[in-house]
Amino acid sequence: MWMHARAAVLRLLKPVLDFALPPRCGGCGAIVDEVDSFCAKCWSQIEFLGSGGCAVCGLPLEGTEIDNCGRCLARPPRLQRSRAATAYGEISRSIALKFKYGRKVALGRTMARFMAPLLDQLPDNAVLVPVPLHRGRIWRRGFNQSAIVARELARRLGVDFSVDALQRVKPTPPLKGLSMQQRRRTVAGAFRANPKAELRGRTVVLVDDVLTTGSTANACARALKRAGAERVELVSWTRVLRPSHLD
């Protein structure tokens, strides 16, 4: 009984505490003026990407390309739109790592703040779905970081959020250092749509922290489309633009 009361008091106090503590830079921890933001130094070192580039994959367009890049025109990808808030660099990477391993949940809010503007044209039937972790990894880590960001994004955008519409049915080793083809093979069959999730005819937005080659997101999109999703998009905090950053 007492524990319940204590939890209730803490819940009540939390917004007050958040308010009373000075906001800190998501990159270096320096005190800043605004919540969920960065100091001037970190800000200048983060490359924000915005909504430009290819209308499908979001990568920069060549001079001769109009809306879609040549690759997306030649072979339309399963992910009908991919966007990332930032280019993968020292600060954006350290934020993703701190968030994943340092359990700084507040960073999830900061990420969502900069990801939300990329999702300004979602239909009413959209649902946000985190790229799932295998259960074993959730137990070790304690939480799925993408679920925290997806929940925060859903709150900001006023759209549905489903933590378990997608399930990881087999654990996969880290993809680091693998070739594109090896990655594809490793994640094949790793995901399954939850039979209880209502996905038919809907736009599903996958939420991830780091987008590298997209092989994981692609395997997710395949499972979602099989379950009837009409359109699958992806939004991530940061994205590798230069292949040399892959390993």
Residue ranges binding Zn ion (CB under 5 A): 25, 27-28, 30, 39, 42, 54, 56-57, 69, 72
Is the CB of 45 or the CB of 167 nearer to Zn ion?
A: 45
Do 46 and 86 form a contact (C-beta atoms < 8 A)? yes
Cα–Cα dist 243/15, whole Å: 42
Do 164 and 182 form a contact (C-beta atoms < 8 A)? no
Residues composing the chain: 247
Encoded amino acid at 70, one letter? G
Q: How far from 202 is each of 12, 30, 39, 197, 214, CA to CA, in Å?
A: 36, 42, 39, 11, 21
Question: For strand 81-87 and strand 231-239, is the pairing parallel, antiparallel, or unpaired?
Answer: parallel
Is the CB of 13 or the CB of 40 nearer to Zn ion?
A: 40
- In the complex, what is the shortest distance from the CB of residue 119 to Zn ion, in angstroms, rounded to a whole number? 18
Please calculate the CA angle 228-233-239 and round it to the nearest 5 degrees.
Answer: 145
- In the complex, what is the shortest distance from the CB of residue 94 to Zn ion, in angstroms, rounded to a whole number? 10
Is the CB of 99 or the CB of 161 nearer to Zn ion?
A: 99
- In the complex, what is the shortest distance from the CB of residue 171 to Zn ion, in angstroms, rounded to a whole number? 31
Is the CB of 32 or the CB of 227 nearer to Zn ion?
A: 32
- In the complex, what is the shortest distance from the CB of residue 71 to Zn ion, in angstroms, rounded to a whole number? 6
Is the CB of 69 or the CB of 118 nearer to Zn ion?
A: 69
Indicate the SS3 state at residue 233: strand
- In the complex, what is the shortest distance from the CB of residue 30 to Zn ion, in angstroms, rounded to a whole number? 5
Question: For strand 127-130 and strand 203-211, is the pairing parallel, antiparallel, or unpaired?
Answer: parallel
